[in-house]
Amino acid sequence: MAGYRDLLRHHRGLLSIAFLAMFSSSFGQSFFIGLFQAPISTRLGLTAGEFGSAYALVTLVAGFAMLRLGPSIDWIPPRRFTLLVLASLTLGVALLTLSPWWLLGLVGLGLVRLCGQGMMTHLGNTLAGREFVAERGRALGLISVGVMLGESALPPLIAMLLVWFGWQELWWLFGLTLAALWLPLLLCGPWPQAPGVRPTAQEGRQGPRPFRETRFWRLLPLLMTMPVSMTGLFIYQARMTEDLGSTLATYALALTGMGLAKLPGALLGGRLVDHIGPILLARLYLLPFALALLLAILVGGDLGVWALMVGGGLAMGTQQPIATSLLVSIWGSEHLGTVRATLSAAMVFSTGIAPALLGFALDAGVTFEGVLGAMLALLMAGWWLAQGALPAGTDTP
């Protein structure tokens, strides 16, 4: 842990900015919005099914917006970028909690999704990935704890506060708390400069355009395996526990285990990125989840559920520092905002579509063991496709 102590001692300010950005993304994360699904649906006059469809729609729109707006962090100064995101997030919260019209409420929900989960995560990862070189992996691993803090601390805190406050008051309270945390950093934080100026149309054509590169498409399945698979496990948890012969109580406990497993995954993954590089780790980090899928398929029961959650937590925690470092290794840091925005948008699209496809498969009579087998096939196919896109050898610093 000495490396992390030195990192905090010398770069506390910049790490605080990136860490707070990752924590602030909780406002737009599915776990946070899901805690208020019932009162939000009631306010907007939507049934549960209609809310789910609307949520998927605004999420897909947010993904397209990420493609358009995310690259701007490559030329807009990060402090100004943060102010714009915070202002848009505030507008989204105001529309969602105060608007008397359901359409404006959905616009607010879309802004919360875009600026919370989308732009805040994008800001934190891009700053850490671009501003750190020798310690990039550890910096990315450390700031990813901000997301884990939100996932673990906010649900029980909100459940307790709902005894005294309504859901709208809680959103305003959380927003004011974030504003109080951001204010000193916006005024006195060690903000870096933008790495470049806005490109002209001709220069834009010369920059990276990941969707037009075969290499990006070959890496995409590898990087999407975890978000797609875990989204399916979260949404269809009842069917998973039933088919595997477990219970929802076991799943709830295993979910805590997943949260605990993310922390060592992120910190160890960050350290390993700095020591052996992201390219070798990209070939190995899905192994815990692959073994978990095999165990769940072959053994099932409570052990299978625990394996999926803990193995998934380790792999998800490790992917955070690996993915951004891998993008820098291949495309460089100057255009990291553009490449990360493209990857984020692709993940948004995939996690929006995957639940529907899994739902159709389950309705057609596919067992959850069959679904887990498909996830394992996706993992293996993603690993195989990525081999041709990953540079040969390692990139040890």
Q: How many helices (H) and strands (E) does the chain have?
A: 19, 0
If asked whether residues 34 and 175 sit together in one domain, one would say yes
Q: Report the alpha-carbon distance of residue 319 to residue 298 in Å, rounded.
A: 26
Q: Are residues 369 and 268 in the same domain?
A: yes
394 lies in a domain? no
Burial of 21 (0-12, 13-18, 19+ CB in 10 A): buried
Q: Is residue 94 assigned to a domain?
A: yes
In a domain, 395, yes or no: no
Q: Is residue 237 part of a domain?
A: yes
* pLDDT of 357: 79
**How many angstroms separate the CA atoms of 40 and 51, rounded?**
9
Considering Cα of 152, then 153, then 154, then 156, what sign does the dihedral take?
A: positive
Say yes or no: 184 and 221 in one domain: no
Residue span of the structural domain in which 52 resides? 8-188
Both 176 and 223 in a single domain?
Answer: no
pLDDT at 397: 47
- The C-alpha atoms of residue 123 and residue 127 are separated, in whole angstroms, by 6
Residue 183 CB: number of other CB atoms within 10 A?
10
Domain membership of residue 208 (yes or no) is: no
150 and 233 housed in the same domain: no
Is there a single domain that holds both residue 102 and residue 137?
yes
Q: What is the CATH number of the domain that holds 124?
A: 1.20.1250.20
Q: In the numeric block, which tokens belong to residue 78? A: 């990060």
Q: How confident is the model at residue 396, as a pLDDT?
A: 47
Last residue in a domain, options 172, 188, 204: 188
Indicate if 34 and 125 belong to the same structural domain.
Answer: yes
Residues of the chain with pLDDT under 50: 204-205, 396-397
How do residues 376-395 score in pLDDT, each as one tens digit? 999 999 999 988 777 765 55
* Same-domain status, 121 and 270: no
**Whether residues 229 and 343 fall in one domain:** yes
Residue 331, pLDDT score: 83
For 6, phi then psi, to 5°, come to -65, -40
The pLDDT, as a whole number, for residue 291 is: 95
List all residues 6 or more positions away from 149 whose beta carbon is below 8 Å from its beta carbon. Answer: 23
Domain final residue, candidates 188, 203, 238:
188
Q: What is the pLDDT of residues 5-18, one digit of tens each?
A: 777 778 888 899 99
- Asked if 184 and 254 sit in the same domain, the reply is no
203's CB contacts (< 8 A; 6+ apart) are: none
Spatial contact of 52 and 44, defined as CB atoms under 8 Å apart: no
Sign of CA dihedral 216, 376, 324, 270: negative
Give how many domains the chain has, as a whole number: 2
Residue 60 is assigned to a structural domain of this protein: yes
Q: Which of 131, 154, 188 is the last residue of a domain?
A: 188
Distance CA 73, CA 71 (A): 5
Whether residues 39 and 83 fall in one domain: yes
Query: Among candidates 285, 181, 308, 171, which has minimal Cα distance to 237?
Result: 308
Give a yes or no: residue 397 inside a domain. Answer: no
